[in-house]
Amino acid sequence: LSAQKEGFRFFMEKEIYEQSEVLSDTLIGRLAEDAILFDELNPSLLEGINEIKLCACGTSYHAALASSYLFERLGKIRTSVEIASELRYKEPLLCTDTLFVVISQSGETADTLETLKMAKAAGLKTLVVCNVDNSSMVREADAAILTRAGIEKGVASTKAFATQMAVLWMFSLYVAQTKDTIDAETLRKQIGLLREVPAVVRVHDDLHERIRRLSKRYLHGHGFFFIGRDIFFPLALEGALKLKEISYLHAEGYPSGEMKHGPIALADPELFTIALMPKNLLYDKTKSNVEELSARDATICAISDVPFEKADDFIPIAAHDHYMLEFFETMVVLQLLSMEIAIRLGNDVDMPRNLAKSVTVE
Residues that are catalytic: 357
Residue closer to ligand G6P (CB basis): 169 or 314: 169
Closest C-alpha among 176, 106, 102, 175 to residue 143? 102
Residue closer to ligand G6P (CB basis): 187 or 341: 341
Q: State the minimum distance, in angstroms, from the CB of residue 347 to ligand G6P.
A: 15
Residue closer to ligand G6P (CB basis): 278 or 352: 352
Q: State the minimum distance, in angstroms, from the CB of residue 153 to ligand G6P.
A: 12
Interacting residue with ligand G6P among 18, 23, 54, 58 (CB under 6 A): 58
- Phi (first) and psi of residue 306, to 5 degrees: -125, 125
Q: How many chain residues are in contact with ligand G6P, going by CB under 6 A?
A: 15
Which pairing describes strands 251-255 and 223-228: parallel, antiparallel, or unpaired? parallel
Q: Considering only the stretches 41-49, 57-65, 178-186, 320-328, report the one whose residues sit in contact with ligand G6P under the rule CB under 6 A.
A: 57-65
- What string marks each residue from 12 to 51 as x (binds ligand G6P by CB under 6 A) or -? ----------------------------------------
Interacting residue with ligand G6P among 24, 80, 280, 358 (CB under 6 A): 358
Binding to ligand G6P (CB under 6 A): which residues in 76-105?
104-105
Residue closer to ligand G6P (CB basis): 169 or 308: 169
Q: State the minimum distance, in angstroms, from the CB of residue 155 to ligand G6P.
A: 5
Q: CA 211 → CA 158, 220, 282, 329, distances in Å?
A: 17, 16, 25, 13
HEC string of the chain equals CHHHHCCCCCHHHHHHHCHHHHHHHHHCCCECCCCECCCCCCHHHHCCCCEEEEEECHHHHHHHHHHHHHHHHCCCCEEEEEEHHHHCCCCCCCCCCEEEEEEECCCCCHHHHHHHHHHHHCCCEEEEEECCCCCHHHHHCCEEEECCCCCCCCCCCCHHHHHHHHHHHHHHHHHHHHHCCCCHHHHHHHHHHHHHHHHHCCCCHHHHHHHHHHHHHHCCCCEEEEEECCCHHHHHHHHHHHHHHHHCCCEEEEEHHHHHHCHHHHCCCCEEEEEEECCCCCHHHHHHHHHHHHHCCCEEEEEECCCCCCCCEEEECCCCCCHHHHHHHHHHHHHHHHHHHHHHCCCCCCCCCCCCCCCCCC
Interacting residue with ligand G6P among 27, 127, 138, 155 (CB under 6 A): 155
Q: State the minimum distance, in angstroms, from the CB of residue 166 to ligand G6P.
A: 15
Interacting residue with ligand G6P among 112, 177, 299, 347 (CB under 6 A): 112
106 interacts with ligand G6P by CB under 6 A: yes
151 interacts with ligand G6P by CB under 6 A: no
Interacting residue with ligand G6P among 35, 118, 345, 359 (CB under 6 A): 359
Residue closer to ligand G6P (CB basis): 16 or 207: 16
Residue closer to ligand G6P (CB basis): 26 or 105: 105
Interacting residue with ligand G6P among 19, 20, 59, 338 (CB under 6 A): 59
Q: State the minimum distance, in angstroms, from the CB of residue 140 to ligand G6P.
A: 13
Binding to ligand G6P (CB under 6 A): which residues in 337-356?
355
Bridge partners (DSSP) of residue 100 are 53, 126
Residue closer to ligand G6P (CB basis): 248 or 283: 248
Interacting residue with ligand G6P among 115, 147, 157, 347 (CB under 6 A): 157
- Interacting residue ranges for ligand G6P, rule: CB under 6 A: 57-60, 104-106, 109, 112, 155, 157, 355, 357-359
